[in-house]
Structure 1
Amino acid sequence: MHFIVAIAFVLIIASMVSALYFMMHDRGRTKRMVWSLAARVGLSITLFLFILLAHWLGWLPYSQVPLGR
């Protein structure tokens, strides 16, 4: 589980770096930066939903921290 989350974070960071690269080199002539940022948003939403699903299925245990303290 930790491996999948780490890979997703690396992909999100790589997408942000590629968007920065396209912003600096394309100067608004292409839509590669927009597609890169859209991919980042999609990866972030997918990661969030995957973590929710993993918690619901019991793949991620509770933290054992009492609530309300």
Structure 2
Amino acid sequence: MKTLVIVAIFLLILWQLGAGLYYLMVDKGETNRTAKALTRRIALSFGLIILVVVANQMGWISFHGVGRAP
């Protein structure tokens, strides 16, 4: 379940990135939809980072140790 939540948020981030690109190409600077889409992407990214850190601290997930000394 926890993996699905993280993947779902990641897909939302990618969706907002795509929406920002679409609005950039379609609106030609006439509206602020591009800025709103990219702002939502940043907020979702920040929220995902906070979620992963909190989940690690609570023991719900654990990091697998890539890059740690043996």
The verdict on how the C-alpha distance between 1:58 and 1:27 changes in structure 2, with shifts beyond 3 A counting, is same
Deviations 1:4-59 (A, max 9, x none): 00000110000011001100010000000000000000000000000000000000
Written as runs of structure 1 = structure 2, the 5 A alignment for 1:26-65 is 26-63=27-64
Written as runs of structure 1 = structure 2, the 5 A alignment for 1:4-15 is 4-15=5-16
Aligned length, in residue pairs: 69
The verdict on how the C-alpha distance between 1:62 and 1:48 changes in structure 2, with shifts beyond 3 A counting, is closer
- What RMSD in Å do the two structures reach over aligned CA positions? 1.7
Unaligned segments of structure 2, at least 5 residues:
none
Structure 1 runs (4+) deviating above 4 angstroms are none
Identity %: 28
Unaligned segments of structure 1, at least 5 residues:
none
